[in-house]
Amino acid sequence: MTNPSVAIIDYGMGNIRSVLNAFEEVGAAGVLVDNPENLGSFEKAILPGVGAFKEAMENLDESGMTAALNTYVSKGNQLLGVCLGMQLICLDSEEDGFHEGLGYLNAHVVPLPREAGLKVPHMGWNAIEFRCEHAVFSDVESGSDVYFVHSYRVKCEDESDVLATSNYGVPFDSIVASGNVLGMQFHPEKSQGVGLQLLRNFISLK
């Protein structure tokens, strides 16, 4: 049996090398995809990202990747947004103004609170607390620590889309899903064994 292939969408905003290494570690062939025409040949894709929401959406739009992603998701293929990628799948973001997102998740991106002496960005290890049962949690325990780097948080309108939450001053949605689209606010590729298991589970989702 050949290793499953996963499209890693390269739009100029991702920590691509560590994502590639993580998929290699879990026995999947991560394939960089920067040509929108190539996305349709994959059944699973990951949208990574580090940086600003507005610039990321501009890159996706100008490259034609937004249209390709819309078609890809509409066909039922599975997409995982990571960190900024999770924020991009939302309706909109308040980062540096108001900007529309891809709109696959009925959610908004809002700032993390800066009161109570909390440092922003939220950087480091924090627990994920499961809110429901889901196949992506196979062999992962609720309360496991994962690695975060973010200044904004996702706020889902539909509680049923929230798979796990974390807390940094306020509770925030750290794993979300709507149909065939998932999001992880943290970096699974930097979260050691827990993160790698979550990626294995994503690969195995039916």
Positions annotated as catalytic residues are 83, 187, 189
Report the relative pairing of strands 181-184 and 90-93 from DSSP bridges. Answer: unpaired
Q: Which one, of 203, 44, 85, lies nearest residue 138 by Cα?
A: 203
In three-state secondary structure terms, 193 is: helix
The distance from CA 147 to its chain's CA centroid, rounded to whole angstroms, is 13
Tokens 């002496």: give the residue.
117
Q: Which residues pair with 147 in a beta bridge?
A: 125
CB atoms within 10 A of CB 87: 28
CA diameter of the chain: 53
Q: What are the E-state strand segments in the chain? A: 5-9, 29-33, 44-47, 78-82, 90-93, 99-100, 105-111, 122-127, 129-130, 145-150, 152-156, 162-168, 170-178, 181-184
